[in-house]
Chain A
């Protein structure tokens, strides 16, 4: 009997293998559970292709998406639907960064403990309140007209994003059969643009920090046929006008390429890169609400020639910025140099009324020293006063910088127009980024959009 019982011990090997297989199965299940449960084939969540989930509201309680009687409904206003589409997301998951996709677990109330039972229990999942303001989004969407691009507005003190519009958009209730490029993309988070002259803010910041006699310097912008030029290294950087002898403030007001290319050349790649990296370039920003990743802004000058650095100093070359990061950067200037982490989900509330999550204001650290930030504020305020016109932003004490990004060498290509700015009136602590694709000069397209949106903000939040 001993021999037989001894032989039976080999069956422990079977038990071991069984345990190993069980652990593997359970491990895979635990790791992939939410992904698997959110699969489109799951008829708990998708009845006839429609997504059964909790409500999504804006900061004022306006319903942006909701489930009623097993059907997914969106806002009644078609413009609001289009304006908030990329942020709210579609039910089918085409828009990856949309709340309906990124916060699927929360919207369905899925938890590891109860599975999708909450959906059975309450008939729907958790509700999500966004920081967005549907009216501002609507105003921004209208302001964009037929242009493609991005508008983002955030409170630079708290980090709440009150407006995200990404165009082209479509009506989720009436999806067009023809797909337009970029309509599934939330360009505010996922877009990457050549910053153009808006990058001069960073060149200026680097100069303020590294060149003590900056304000005494003069720059020469001369040339023929209305185009200024300056020799940097082996080649030339061209300017949109001939500005003559100017100081730094004038150069910033006029967005003189010659002056800023020369500044960039003087600063060199190390100092310029150091300033940019301190302000969040070349690093992945924290995910928005821990879920939505934002594209990375990049400035790569490692193997660049002096001329390349000159072009980079005016926001051309290979430099790319994401609107979300640019808005954060502008907000940090408004906020005295400290960057605030932007967020779009304000709170997640169970159908029973319990708060599962409430977003809090978090800082991302110091993007600029407070002295530099103060200087930048002054120069940006001067831009609005002396160049863009304070009348466009009455009562907002607006500061800002425009940019016109050449994205192609071809003669016919239209540039992207950008505007980045903020209100220095403490009653309206909002910063704005506007990108208008394939437009013309920024003052004629991006600035009017900013005017309309900021006016709407002022009217909504005015005292």
Chain B
């Protein structure tokens, strides 16, 4: 066994799990005491199921797999719990649906960890994953109708999924590679073609926020793979040029971003959501007005795009700041562990996944605070949305895989 020694201490799982449980129980009790009687059962099922999944995961990982580091999962479980509480409070009838999506996400997280264990398998799966991704996006482009101005939703038998969210996982999976592959084939051409396919279809769907996230992730992966700054600058220049062309020929795209920086001047029009987020965030104060007492929830897309405002209002600025800090922590962790990862594949996957989350959080948080144009992307783990929560949990598997302690094996002669 390859025993991994590390600097720094892991958190105490028992204590942290107790704290997380208490947090979620308080949220559940608050919801039950405030909610209408018909919703009580829903809250109980939602939180019961969630806590059960949480304990099953931690007990399994600790006792069966003998793992020690659980910070990554604890953060994810807490953030997901906050999101679930808000969903159960604002849309009680959607809480169980959101729980099921979360459970699928956690299952995907575990499954992806198992797949990632076998690096040769991963290498073999890259091509199928690439073709599947582009195919899925193309399918969506052709068959999806417009929802809120973008063609990014697929409805299958009453279920609605956002394929671009799931493709995020595949995109990183396809982009990363082991060191010997990177060294024998330095060309980025294939990956650029793949990225072009993904980002292009997203553009055609008018899903600019996600396209931007993909482009950013593409830059991170490409740079980590090749270190080739010149090509990347060229690509960025081309992208900026393309962006300008789009804005020139499709002015209605520009109008989406027109109110950026002038939210207060467009108080009841294009700045409506941003100003309401700021007003109600301010109303929350450091500790919030309490779960269920907010008013921002009545604004359109409160539990998705504006979720940061809801957290600020109902849970307070301090908790919101802690959420931002946790995204940073995930990225720092990935960067630090990349040198010690079992393969460059894991290093690139983890850094790309953590950077993607941070970037997406930035677009979301700064969008509603009028620091950046609003792009309508979700806040990782916290926003409501099945596809989003699933993709976040699966991305977490990449971050988990960068840590050598996750997989306890080594090629050391006995």
A residues touching B (Cβ–Cβ < 8 Å)? 1-5, 7-12, 14-15, 17-19, 21-22, 24-26, 28-29, 32-37, 39, 41-44, 110-117, 120
> Which one of A5, A17, A18, A115 lies within 8 Å of B285 (CB-CB)?
A115
Can you pick out 19 interface pairs between chain A and chain B where the beta carbons lie within 8 Å of each other? A1-B338, A5-B339, A8-B224, A8-B338, A8-B351, A11-B220, A11-B335, A18-B358, A21-B365, A21-B371, A21-B372, A22-B324, A28-B278, A28-B369, A29-B281, A41-B267, A44-B289, A115-B282, A115-B316
Shortest distance between the CB of A118 and any CB in chain B (Å): 10
Are A1 and B366 also in contact (CB < 8 A) when A32-B282, A116-B283 are? no
Is there contact, CB below 8 Å, between A4 and B224? yes
Residues of chain B within 8 A (CB-CB) of A37 are 279, 282-283
> Which one of A18, A29, A33, A36 lies within 8 Å of B362 (CB-CB)?
A18
* In the complex, chain B residues 281-305 whose Cβ is within 8 Å of any chain A Cβ: 281-290, 293, 295, 298
Residues of chain A within 8 A (CB-CB) of B31 are none
Residues of chain B within 8 A (CB-CB) of A7 are 223-224, 227
Residues of chain B within 8 A (CB-CB) of A26 are 317, 321
* In the complex, chain B residues 184-203 whose Cβ is within 8 Å of any chain A Cβ: none
Is there contact, CB below 8 Å, between A39 and B328? no
Residues of chain A within 8 A (CB-CB) of B335 are 5, 8-9, 11-12
Please give me the residue from chain A that is nearest to B343 by CB atom.
A1
Please give me the residue from chain A that is nearest to B183 by CB atom.
A3
Is there contact, CB below 8 Å, between A29 and B344? no
Top 5 nearest A-B pairs by Cβ distance? A115-B285, A5-B339, A36-B282, A37-B282, A25-B369
Is there contact, CB below 8 Å, between B290 and A120? yes
Q: How far is the CA of A114 from the CA of B347 in the complex (A)?
A: 43
Q: How far is the CA of A28 from the CA of B307 in the complex (A)?
A: 19
Is there contact, CB below 8 Å, between A15 and B358? yes
Is there contact, CB below 8 Å, between B295 and A42? yes
Please give me the residue from chain A that is nearest to B268 by CB atom.
A41
Q: How far is the CA of A323 from the CA of B135 in the complex (A)?
A: 78
Residues of chain B within 8 A (CB-CB) of A2 are 339
Are A41 and B287 also in contact (CB < 8 A) when A4-B348, A5-B347 are? no
Give the dominant DSSP class at B's interface.
Answer: helix
- Check if B152 is an interface residue, CB within 8 A of chain A: no
Is there contact, CB below 8 Å, between A115 and B287? yes
Is there contact, CB below 8 Å, between A113 and B286? yes
- 17 new A-B pairs (CB below 8 Å) besides A15-B328, A29-B317? A1-B339, A1-B341, A5-B335, A8-B347, A11-B331, A14-B358, A18-B362, A21-B365, A25-B366, A29-B281, A29-B369, A33-B282, A36-B282, A37-B282, A44-B280, A44-B289, A115-B283
Give the dominant DSSP class at A's interface.
Answer: helix
> Which one of A4, A28, A111, A120 lies within 8 Å of B344 (CB-CB)?
A4
Most buried by A among B182, B348, B371: B371
Is there contact, CB below 8 Å, between A115 and B289? yes
Residues of chain B within 8 A (CB-CB) of A32 are 278, 282
Residues of chain A within 8 A (CB-CB) of B344 are 1, 4
Q: How far is the CA of A44 from the CA of B284 in the complex (A)?
A: 10
* In the complex, chain B residues 347-364 whose Cβ is within 8 Å of any chain A Cβ: 347-348, 351, 354-355, 358-359, 361-362
Residues of chain A within 8 A (CB-CB) of B313 are 115
Shortest distance between the CB of A453 and any CB in chain B (Å): 42
Residues of chain B within 8 A (CB-CB) of A12 are 335
Is there contact, CB below 8 Å, between A44 and B321? no
Is there contact, CB below 8 Å, between B287 and A114? yes
* In the complex, chain B residues 241-287 whose Cβ is within 8 Å of any chain A Cβ: 267, 275-276, 278-287
Are A112 and B347 also in contact (CB < 8 A) when A22-B324, A22-B365, A41-B267 are? no
Is there contact, CB below 8 Å, between B347 and A24? no
- Check if B56 is an interface residue, CB within 8 A of chain A: no
Range of interface residues on B (Cβ < 8 Å): 35 or more
Shortest distance between the CB of A114 and any CB in chain B (Å): 5
Residues of chain A within 8 A (CB-CB) of B339 are 1-2, 5
Are A29 and B365 also in contact (CB < 8 A) when A11-B355, A21-B372, A115-B289 are? no
Are A120 and B293 also in contact (CB < 8 A) when A36-B278, A112-B286, A113-B286 are? yes
Is there contact, CB below 8 Å, between B287 and A29? no
> Which one of B312, B331, B347 lies within 8 Å of A14 (CB-CB)?
B331
Shortest distance between the CB of A199 and any CB in chain B (Å): 44
Is there contact, CB below 8 Å, between A117 and B285? yes
Please give me the residue from chain A that is nearest to B329 by CB atom.
A15
Please give me the residue from chain A that is nearest to B359 by CB atom.
A14
Is there contact, CB below 8 Å, between A117 and B289? yes
Is there contact, CB below 8 Å, between B347 and A36? no
Q: How far is the CA of A106 from the CA of B290 in the complex (A)?
A: 20
> Which one of A19, A113, A116 lies within 8 Å of B328 (CB-CB)?
A19
Q: How far is the CA of A1 from the CA of B348 in the complex (A)?
A: 10
- Check if B204 is an interface residue, CB within 8 A of chain A: no
Residues of chain B within 8 A (CB-CB) of A42 are 279-280, 283, 295
Is there contact, CB below 8 Å, between B289 and A21? no
Mark interface residues in B217-229 (1 if CB within 8 Å of A CB, else 0): 0001001110100
Please give me the residue from chain A that is nearest to B295 by CB atom.
A43
Most buried by A among B223, B276, B279: B279
Residues of chain B within 8 A (CB-CB) of A28 are 278, 369
Shortest distance between the CB of B109 and any CB in chain A (Å): 22
Q: How far is the CA of A444 from the CA of B316 in the complex (A)?
A: 61
> Which one of A11, A18, A36, A44 lies within 8 Å of B295 (CB-CB)?
A44
Mark interface residues in B315-346 (1 if CB within 8 Å of A CB, else 0): 01100010010011001101100110100100
Residues of chain A within 8 A (CB-CB) of B362 are 17-18, 21
Shortest distance between the CB of A75 and any CB in chain B (Å): 29
Q: How far is the CA of A44 from the CA of B282 in the complex (A)?
A: 11
- Check if B179 is an interface residue, CB within 8 A of chain A: yes
Shortest distance between the CB of A33 and any CB in chain B (Å): 4
> Which one of A17, A22, A116 lies within 8 Å of B289 (CB-CB)?
A116
Shortest distance between the CB of B231 and any CB in chain A (Å): 14
Shortest distance between the CB of A19 and any CB in chain B (Å): 7
Are A114 and B285 also in contact (CB < 8 A) when A11-B220, A14-B355 are? yes
Please give me the residue from chain B that is nearest to A4 by CB atom.
B344
Please give me the residue from chain B that is nearest to A41 by CB atom.
B279
Q: How far is the CA of A143 from the CA of B288 in the complex (A)?
A: 50
Q: How far is the CA of A33 from the CA of B284 in the complex (A)?
A: 9
